[in-house]
Amino acid sequence: MNIRIADTEDADSLVEFNQAMALETEGKRLDTETLKSGVTAVFGDEKKGFYVVAETDGRIVGGLMVTYEWSDWRNAWFWWIQSVYIRPEVRGQRIYVQLYDFVKTKAAQNGNVCGFRLYVENDNSRAQRVYERVGMEASHYLMYEEGLSEPPASAGGQ
């Protein structure tokens, strides 16, 4: 198993993973062109984050994205783990553990990361157990959101 920072050649796999995850966890079908643009945007702007992939025999079998949240309370960064997906046929092989360990090593090298956060569907108990096994705990925060029908015109940097 090779765990590495993803590059633009991995974009198609990451798009596929996001589509599969959205359908599997939320029953949502994502617009392919919007998703491709969103994935590609990460490769074009390091401020947006980065992807990590798990590869075996030249095939991408899992991946995740890391984005950043500045904590003024801690004067350091939280790294948000997003878009986690492991191909169904290789689940149960501790691939997420390897991806997460890779991210933690990168954070330690960065030197200004105070923790890791992620969100998970309330009903996704299998994923919750995986996250707990790697040392994460349910937060005391609830997540709220409000969607916009269209992003503001100035959202290019958001």
pLDDT digits (tens, 9 = 90+) for 108-128: 999 999 999 998 888 888 888
* Rounded-to-integer distance, Cα 101 and Cα 94, Å: 11
Distances (CA, A) of 102 to 11, 17, 49, 99, 108: 19, 19, 15, 5, 10
Confidence class for position 155, pLDDT limits 50, 70, 90: low
Residues 6+ apart with CB under 8 A from 23: 29
What pTM was estimated for this model as a whole? 0.88
Query: Which residue did the predictor score with more confidence, 143 or 88?
Result: 88
The CATH number, out of the four listed (3.40.630.30, 3.40.640.10, 3.40.50.300, 3.40.720.10), of the domain defined by the range 2-157? 3.40.630.30
* Rounded-to-integer distance, Cα 44 and Cα 40, Å: 7
